Amino acid sequence: MKIYAHRGSSGTAPENTIAAFREAASLPIHGVEFDVHMTKDGELVVIHDERIDRTTTGSGFVKDMTLGELRQFDAGSWFSADFVGQLIPTLEEVLEVFKPRHHHINIELKSDVFPYEGMGDKVVALVERMGLTDRVVISSFDHVSIRSIKRTVPQIETGALFVEVLVDAFEYGQRIPANALHMALPASLRPASAEAMAKGAVVRVFTVNEEQYVDLLLKTKVEAIFTDYPERMYNYINRKS
Ligand code: G3P
Ligand code: MG
């Protein structure tokens, strides 16, 4: 079972910061996942929430601030004093960390709350310019966006994110179309998901931070997990196999 570092190595460093990504990039794991929003001046930035309040020293919506304004705030101190000085990174800065490495790169478009008009096209243009087209999977809870990306650049891998226990998940994935289903842990353990995997669905599961769930998932056809503790999970899975 493959491992993606969720928001970087977010259990041991502040999520979606260069510190968390450098740690993930140093590990022999399969991939990394992170979240993208767009600023008021159209810059692509890596942060999970629509607001900056939880993970920075600032307050307000990403969409209402320019990149310059966002960069005034610290994105590491909320996690621990060891990470003071971390800033909200741009997508390009994060891709630069992984470009020289081997990792598969999961870019999650956070366009499900605010549509961020044109964000998908900008992400694809940057990925193409950096020569990373065959190393990324673009995922979203906004399935309309990943459908549109697939129509524009068919060779880009896409993933449909969801938390529900879907009826006919395999067929739904085909219909979007998406290459993979990125599903929440509880849904992944249901018979309906086993059925989708038996039909050939590629399933990746978020967020798996406990060994007892790894044990359950190892009995399924799940391809990969997203975890906040990639090093610990890598060691655990390798000890078992
Ligand atoms: O992409 C997997 C996972 O990150 C989706 O949920 O809220 O952690 O972005 P969230
Ligand atoms: Mg995410």
Query: What Rg value do the Cα atoms of the chain yield, rounded?
Result: 17
Share of the chain above pLDDT 70, in %: 100
Say yes or no: CB of residue 226 within 6 Å of ligand 1.
Answer: yes
Residue that is written with structure tokens 């930035």 in the block:
45
Give yes or no for residue 191 having a pLDDT over 80. yes
Say yes or no: CB of residue 206 within 6 Å of ligand 1.
Answer: yes
108 C-alpha vs ligand 1 centroid, how far in Å?
Answer: 7
Q: Which ligand is nearest to the CA of 31?
A: 1
CA separation, residue 72 to residues 57, 69, 75, 240 (Å): 9, 6, 10, 45
Q: Topology of 2-240 in CATH?
A: TIM Barrel (3.20.20)
ipTM: 0.99
Assign 17 a pLDDT band (cuts: 50, 70, 90). Answer: very high
Report the pLDDT averaged over residues 50-67: 98
Average confidence score pLDDT of the chain: 98
What does pTM read for this prediction? Answer: 0.98
Alpha helices in 99-221 (DSSP H): 119-129, 143-152, 169-175, 185-188, 191-198, 211-217
What are the residue boundaries of the structural domains of the chain, listed by start? Answer: 2-240
